[in-house]
Amino acid sequence: MAMSMIDKAAEKKDKAQWPADIAAEFERERANPNPCVGSVLLSENERTRVWIIRLAPGERIGFHRHVLDYFWTSVSGGRGRQHVHDGTTVEYTYAPGETRHETYGAGDFKVHDLENLGEREMIFMTVEFKDSANKPMPLPATVARQAAAA
């Protein structure tokens, strides 16, 4: 049985001011929404997009916008920090196999980043469902070409 993050509290949560570079990147994403919810788009068809995130220790994937219903699974486990669009910064420890499902109503979204705070690579798989309340955002042409070549 997959583990779930339903009702899992953050180990650390605060609303302290973000560093200037993080705040500036967040404002750039607000002006130009980033639909790439993973490091690499592994597969896309008429129903789903499948992404992977692989973060080395200290590495960070920048702000991206979730508008589609989706789930992620922590492949490796690890410890991560997220800056979330409501101004909070949260930290979680993830177990291998831990999974979270998220859904969004029409017009709803989440913007966040993810930084690996651990001492080993942190890997996540994310599956987005295109038949959600919101339409899929178009992907940059370079991302779509990479997935088609895979």
Domain membership of residue 5 (yes or no) is: no
CA 149 vs. chain centroid, Å, equals 23
Number of domains in the chain: 1
* Element holding 22 (H helix, E strand): helix 20-31
What is the per-residue pLDDT across 88-124, written as a single tens digit (0 to 9) for each? 999 999 999 999 999 999 999 999 999 999 999 999 9
Residue 115 maps to which CATH number?
Answer: 2.60.120.10
Domain membership of residue 124 (yes or no) is: yes
Question: What domain range includes position 55?
Answer: 11-149
Nearest to 113 by CA among 50, 22, 44, 43: 22
What is the per-residue pLDDT across 119-136, written as a single tens digit (0 to 9) for each? 999 999 999 999 999 999
Domain membership of residue 6 (yes or no) is: no
Domain membership of residue 3 (yes or no) is: no
d(CA 74, CA 99): 6
Domain membership of residue 100 (yes or no) is: yes
Q: Is 21 helix (H, G, I), strand (E, B) or coil?
A: helix
What is the per-residue pLDDT across 41-82, written as a single tens digit (0 to 9) for each? 999 999 999 999 999 999 999 999 999 999 999 999 999 999
* Element holding 149 (H helix, E strand): helix 141-149
- Whether 2 and 99 have beta carbons less than 8 Å apart is answered as yes
